[in-house]
Structure 1
Amino acid sequence: MKSEIKEELNPESVKSEPLSVQDLHELYDPIKDQIEERLAEFQRIWETASDEDLFREMVFCLLTPQSKARICWRAVERLERKCLIASGEPCQVQEELVGVRFNQRKAEYVCLARSMFSHRSLRTTLAGFPSHAAAREWLVANVLGLGYKEASHFLRNIGLGEDLAILDRHILKNLALLGVIDKVPESPTKRRYIEIERQMTAFSSQAGIPMGQLDLLLWYKEAGEIFK
């Protein structure tokens, strides 16, 4: 199963000045410690979190397509306060998704995922894969609402996916500005997603900025903060 919510990408939207590796490092060097600490926090989630904690991060990533991360996290916090992540009906979940686009469909995704992991441990399931990429393939195939971007985001946020690319529109735009890709794809296929991920991995090595840090750096460039 794949996400039915497509990222709205406009190939003509990349109008900014090209970026160089030097430009990146001028942005990266002052905030490197903050980025490393954020990634360490994600790693601690995997080391210490319960299944419920892990599922909360999955809910967040199910909500994020075409919606602002801060708004989605506030919605998750409301759901948690009202005990709706564990037991809410789709209509109850939807009421708390204020400001989240496609909230009816996403509420259904949350409840379907909860039903799936009520019969199996999310932690045990993820720990059973030989690689982060293999875990992502399983998530995309089995959790409705998680495409490659959302599954990569979820795994990174629980400390399992620093080597995976989270190719949202902001990252793709900046990869084009850096010359890593020729243009921003409207809706990347699986093959194109993996190809861009490989190109981003090669660039991160060339630039001397690890993949997980590069993602947060480019997100910071667009949003002005280091979040999730």
Structure 2
Amino acid sequence: MDLELYRPTKPLPTGRLSVLTREELLRHRLEHRNAVKRRLEEFAALKKASATRLFYELCYCILTPQSKGLVCDRIVADLAGRGVLLEPVTRRGELEVALQRTRFWRTKTRHILEAWRRFGPCGEEPLDALLREAGCFQSPVDFRDWLRERMRGVGVGLKETSHFLRNIGYGDGLAIIDRHVIRCLAELGVLGAAEGSIRSEGDYRRVESMAAAFSLRLQIPLAELDLLLWSAKTGYIFK
């Protein structure tokens, strides 16, 4: 695996689960354990990636809110391959054209430019330097919260920061609470009918803690559980 290149991520097919129970989830896990392991190993390999490669992954997470992950992944691969993300300020026009395939592309363009200024390889706080601080925190959640504060102003909240960390191998103990995961947790009886609405960071933390408790009961690590739940509704393991 070349850690410097950003290639489109290959979806690993699993098939959807029309009815999700704990028994079906455990069967889904057993059937697709090799695919899940492969994807998590790909994430873990990026712990050794350069500041530039990490910046590409951050760009992906900036693009994904209310946009399709597959589309965002292809956009980042295209922009990285053409060198646009290495000089986004001078090539802003090309960046804007590419991002028009996502929702809120004007805002996301500004966020990527700000992220480049602050967290790019020559920025104020390159991502590889920030990630070296992970060992200073008592838990992955504490580190996530600290990093989220550092990243204010570039369009990433708790979910996107968790997503970024998971995709570069720092996802142990973190949940990525999106609509697919919320739907699964509701079907599994983890969330009540009125508990899946996330309108604030407090709501996110509440659902995250419930997902973490469920993960412990099933003895499935959160990073793995997220891939299993997401694939149960989409039909494939992605990122």
- Paired position in structure 2 for 1:225: 236
Unpaired segments ≥5 residues, structure 2 = 1-16
Letter in 2 for 1:34: A
- Paired position in structure 1 for 2:87: 87
Conserved 8 A contact 1:162-1:211: yes
SS, match of residue 80 in structure 2 = helix
Q: Does 1:43 align with 2:44?
A: yes
SS, match of residue 58 in structure 1 = helix
- Paired position in structure 2 for 1:140: 148
Q: What is the Cα-based RMSD across aligned positions, in Å? A: 1.8
TM-score (normalised: structure 2): 0.83
Match of residue 193, structure 1, among 196, 201, 204:
204
SS, match of residue 124 in structure 1 = helix
Encode CA deviations 1:148-180: one digit per residue, 9 max, x unaligned.
111100000000013101001111111111111
Conserved 8 A contact 1:62-1:150: yes
Q: Does 1:163 align with 2:173?
A: yes
Q: How does 1:100-179 map to 2 (within 5 A)?
A: 100-117=102-119, 118-129=123-134, 130=137, 131-143=139-151, 144-179=154-189
C-alpha distance in 2, partners of 1:207/1:186? 24
Letter in 2 for 1:222: K
Q: Does 1:181 align with 2:179?
A: no
More deviation, 104-113/114-123 = 114-123
Conserved 8 A contact 1:126-1:135: no
C-alpha distance in 1, partners of 2:104/2:27? 38
Percent identity of equivalent pairs: 35
C-alpha distance in 2, partners of 1:175/1:207? 13
C-alpha distance in 2, partners of 1:112/1:18? 43
Letter in 2 for 1:152: S
TM-score (normalised: structure 1): 0.87
Encode CA deviations 1:120-152: one digit per residue, 9 max, x unaligned.
221121221314223322332232200111110
Conserved 8 A contact 2:198-2:204: no
C-alpha distance in 1, partners of 2:166/2:221? 13
- Paired position in structure 2 for 1:69: 69
C-alpha distance in 1, partners of 2:51/2:177? 26
Give 1:83 deviation, angstroms.
1.3
Give 1:189 deviation, angstroms.
1.6
Give 1:181 deviation, angstroms.
1.0
158 and 17 in structure 1: CA distance in 2 versus 1, 3 angstrom threshold: closer
Give 1:187 deviation, angstroms.
3.0
Letter in 1 for 2:129: T
SS, match of residue 103 in structure 2 = coil
- Paired position in structure 2 for 1:6: none
- Paired position in structure 2 for 1:53: 53
SS, match of residue 96 in structure 1 = helix
Letter in 2 for 1:41: E
Conserved 8 A contact 2:148-2:161: yes
Conserved 8 A contact 1:42-1:157: yes
